[in-house]
Amino acid sequence: MKCRKCGRPAVVNMRQHKLALCGACFSDWFVEQTRKNIERYEMFDPGDRVLVAVSGGKDSLALWDVLLKLGYEVEGVYIDLGIEGGGYSARSRCRVEAFAESRGVPIAIVDLKAAYGKSVPDMARERRGRTYCSLCGLVKRHEMNRVAYEGGFAALATGHNLDDETATLLQNTLRWEMGYLARQAPVLPSIHPRFARKVKPLCRMTERETASYAIVRNIDYIYDECPHATRATSIFHKELLNRLETRSRGAKLSFYLNFLRARESFKVPEVSLDICKRCGQPTAAPEICAFCRLWEGSEG
Ligand code: AMP
Ligand code: ZN
């Protein structure tokens, strides 16, 4: 098969776009698609400072690479949660640090245990009535938001891709979680001056496309999924959607885009926010936010 743009041998064939490209043309295409997506959803402007949350996986490192290529002023943040399972956090952190060094770009590392005295596994062992994944999500959200606010960034970008977004969408639709559905979008505007604006520039790119981009660009990323089993549900939903995609090309993208269209008529529930007395972040909980309560032992 030949590259549609230059006629050299193609290395990536995207059936849903009826497009086969060589490595160099694919990389240009991927960057251009991301640029268009940033503009389409008005994620941020050329002069804005953007914080990209990097996990060491293909999506977030690919995103960082693309944003640098597009000339944005972008810094990275990595949250070291201390996940053991074959040194998962330590190995991811190495990838992130190596990427930052190779590009000569700044990275903020938040080492949970060094900063707060406990890692996510330490907290999970204390069984505070939260699952491992919910603890991890809570910690990541709080710390990403803190770093974005303290650094005065215009937006916080994550590497969520189309497969992530449609798997979440399927899960939320199966349960008709209207609150979650209303808050699932390529851009979540800030609802409080201390809350970062959240953006997902890769939300229309498939996992296969982001992996191909990382490979074509020689990005060394961590292949493993987080070793915690509860993520199996989202993996199962991804498999279901892949089966659907095989039967009906473009099904994932149209599921997502039709949802975004329908979502325009949803009413986003208003939440009243207090300021946490410990850390100063806005919270829907009274007085002390869920993150600060973790360290007090008063939760669960
Ligand atoms: P996940 O929730 O693990 O699927 O990750 C979704 C996105 O969150 C990734 O693409 C990253 O942008 C970000 N992310 C996940 N884990 C971390 C981490 N440990 N540190 C910083 N950002 C992260
Ligand atoms: Zn707090």
Q: What is the pLDDT of residues 210-235, one digit of tens each?
A: 999 999 999 999 988 888 866 678 88
Residue 291 beta carbon below 6 angstroms from any ligand 1 atom = no
Q: Which atom of ligand 1 is nearest to the CA of 92?
A: 19
Distance of CA 158 from the midpoint of ligand 1 (Å): 7
Average pLDDT of the chain, as a whole number: 93
85 falls in which pLDDT band (50, 70, 90)? confident
Cα 219 off chain centre by:
17
Q: Among 218, 202, 239, 255, which residue's Cα sits nearest to residue 53?
A: 202
pLDDT(300) > 50? no
- Model pLDDT for residues 90-138, shown as the tens digit of each residue: 999 999 999 999 999 999 999 999 999 999 999 888 866 788 888 999 9
Indicate if ligand 1 lies below 6 Å from the C-beta of 60. yes
Exposure string for 159-168, b = 16+ CB within 10 A, e = fewer = bbbbbbbbbb
Q: Is 79 in the pocket of ligand 1 (CB under 6 A)?
A: yes
Report how far ligand 1's centroid is from the alpha carbon of 54 (Å).
6
Q: What was the pLDDT predicted at 225?
A: 81
DSSP conformational letter for 78 = E
CA pair distance 26, 23, nearest whole angstrom: 5
